[in-house]
Amino acid sequence: MRHARALGNCAALLAIGAACGVLWPASDVYRAQIEEWRRQREAALTADGGWLTVTGLFWLHEGANSFGSSSATTSIMLPAGPGVREGEFDLHNGRVLLRMDGQMRVLQPDTAGKPDVVAMGSLSMFVIQRGDRVGIRLKDNNSRLRKDFKGLQYFPVSEGYRIATRLQPDAKKIPILNVLGQIEDTPSPGYVEFELRGQKLRLTPVEESPNALFFIFRDLTAGKETYGSGRFLDAELGKDGEVVLDFNKAYNPPCAFTPYATCPLPPKQNRLAVRIEAGERVAHAHSVPGPEGTPDPPGRQ
C-alpha cells in the first residue's frame, strides 16, 4: 500500500511538473526502455534495405524506361557492380511491366501492400505510386549514406515528455500535404489534448491501422535542434480511448536522411507554438528528388 501511494505521488508530481514547465529526469527503468527503443530505431535505419540505402527515385514516363549501368542513353542509370543487368520498365496506364533477361512480368507497386522487388547484387528496385505519379525507388546496400552514417542524436530523456491523454472522437478525413506538393485526404479518428509548459495543446493523428495512431507534428525546435519540416510520433489507441504521447520517441522523417523520400508534412493544426525538447534531434537535411530523380532546388523539404 505504501509503495502504491508513493507511485501515485510520483505520477502526480510528474503531471504537475509538465504543466508548470518543470520537466523531471527519467528513472533508470524508463531510461532503459527508451535506450532500447533507440537501439531498435537505429538498427532499422541502418539495416539492409533501410532508409540509409535509398539512393534514387526515378519518375517514369509513359512507355519504355530503360535501366542499366553501361549506356549513356539509359533512362535510369545504375551504379556498376556485380549482378547489375539491363532492362526496361514499361509504364502503360499506371501499370508497370518489367522486361529483363528475355522475360516479362507485371510489378505490383508499394500501394498494393508489399511491392515486387527487382534485386541485382547490392541493388534493389521497386515501383512506388504517389497520386498520379509512378516511379522506381532504388536502394543500394553499399550506399555512401549508409557507410558514412555517424549515428542518431537525441535530447536527454525526460519522463515529463511522456504524457497520458485520451482520444476525443471526431472521425473525418484531413488533407495531408507531402513534399511533392500532393494532397491526400487521410482518415483521422479524432484529436488529443494535453498540457505542456503551461500551454494547452492539441494534436490530430492519422490512423495507420486499427488502434495505431500516427502524429505528424512541428514545434519551435524545428529548423534549429530538430528537422525543419517536423517529426513523427507513433502511439497506440488503448482501452476507452487512452493514448500515451511519448515525445522521447519522436523521430525524424525519412527525408532527413535521403533526398529520395516522399514524406508527408504536418497539417496546420499540428504546428505547435511550444518547444518539444525531447526525442530525435536534427540530422543532415537533404533536398527532395525532382521529376527524373534529380534533387529539387534547396528550400523544398
The predicted-structure confidence for 64-118, as pLDDT tens digits, reads as follows 999 999 877 789 999 988 889 999 999 999 999 999 999 999 999 999 889 999 9
Contact 178, 266 (CB under 8 A): no
pTM: 0.84
Can you tell me the distance from the alpha carbon of 98 to that of 192, in angstroms, rounded to the nearest whole number?
45
Enter the C-alpha cell of residue 82: 556485380
Helix (H, G, I), strand (E, B) or coil at 62: coil
Q: What is the mean pLDDT of residues 13-39?
A: 71
Q: Phi and psi (nearest 5°) for 25?
A: -65, 165
pLDDT, tens digit (0-9, with 9 covering 90-100), for 206-265: 998 889 999 999 999 999 999 999 999 999 999 999 999 999 999 999 999 999 999 999
pLDDT, tens digit (0-9, with 9 covering 90-100), for 165-206: 999 999 999 999 999 999 999 999 999 999 998 899 999 999
Contact 23, 15 (CB under 8 A): no
Q: What is the mean pLDDT of residues 21-31?
A: 72
How many helices (H) and strands (E) the chain has is answered by 3, 16
Instruction: Name the fold adopted by 52-140.
Output: Tumour Suppressor Smad4 (2.60.200)
The domain spans of the chain are: 16-48+151-270, 52-140
Percent of the chain topping pLDDT 70? 85
Can you tell me the distance from the alpha carbon of 154 to that of 251, in angstroms, rounded to the nearest whole number?
9
Which residues, in sequence order, are CB contacts of 200 under 8 Å at separation 6+? 193, 194
Helix (H, G, I), strand (E, B) or coil at 231: strand
